[in-house]
Amino acid sequence: MVVTHGHVDNFGAAAELSRLTGAPIAGHIADFSICRAGGASAPYLPIGLFGRLFVRSARARETTEPFEPDLLIRGATRLSDLGVEARIMPTPGHTAGSVSVLTDHGDLVAGDLVATTFPGFGKRPANPPFHDDPLGNLAGLREMPALAPTKLHVGHGAPLNPEQVGRWAAAEQ
Ligand SMILES: [Zn+2]
């Protein structure tokens, strides 16, 4: 299992799933202390109205079962030795330890690098409610076409077309 970043809605089941399946967990060292504590000690940094409302709620301070990553990620990491034809790519910005997974078939599993608009508002790229470093995140998105992904899978919403996301990121910048 690859934990894309240290937000509880993205790693909340990691410890239990690892126990049930025996699968090792990979996570980036920059979000390690958050995963080890079961949640962030600092408040999320909202970038829109929903985020500003959400950080005032108790849900923003929820914690989960902590875990110790079996594989600490420090840079681009191939997963061939684990039987997966893919690589982990650091994509910091949403959090310092955000990573994406790029399969050899071109599927990019991107965590909260970008989100899809709420259902009913079309299938378009959108910012998630929080980014620790919004400009750093956009810089990562603008470099994404160099990875030549064919489909972008996000933590919140439907898969996106990478070219559409690239154009959106340039406009957001
Ligand atoms: Zn997140």
- Residue 156 Cα to ligand 1 midpoint, Å, equals 9
68-103: pLDDT as tens digits: 999 999 999 999 999 999 999 999 999 999 999 999
- Residue 106 Cα to ligand 1 midpoint, Å, equals 22
- Residue 7 Cα to ligand 1 midpoint, Å, equals 5
pLDDT above 90 (res 22): yes
What average pLDDT does this structure show over 151-158?
Answer: 93
Q: Which two tokens stand for residue 51?
A: 């985020």
- Residue 132 Cα to ligand 1 midpoint, Å, equals 10
Q: What is the DSSP string of 141-163?
A: HHHGGGG--SEEE-SSSS-B-HH
CATH of domain 8-172: 3.60.15.10
Identity at 58, one-letter amino acid code: A
Beta-sheet strand order (sheet of 151-153): 77-78, 86-90, 99-103, 107-109, 151-153
- Residue 82 Cα to ligand 1 midpoint, Å, equals 26
Identity at 57, one-letter amino acid code: S
- Residue 134 Cα to ligand 1 midpoint, Å, equals 12
The CA distance from 25 to 17, in Å, is 9
- Residue 22 Cα to ligand 1 midpoint, Å, equals 25
Cβ atoms of 6 and 40 closer than 8 Å = yes
120 pLDDT tier (thresholds 50, 70, 90)? low
Q: Which two tokens stand for residue 119?
A: 């259902």
Q: Which residues, listed in sequence order, are joined to residue 87 by a DSSP beta bridge? A: 78, 102
Cβ atoms of 112 and 156 closer than 8 Å = yes
46 pLDDT tier (thresholds 50, 70, 90)? very high
19 pLDDT tier (thresholds 50, 70, 90)? very high
43: DSSP letter:
P
The CA distance from 73 to 46, in Å, is 26
Q: Which residues, listed in sequence order, are joined to residue 77 by a DSSP beta bridge? A: 88
- Residue 51 Cα to ligand 1 midpoint, Å, equals 11
pLDDT of residue 173: 85
Q: Which two tokens stand for residue 64?
A: 């989960």
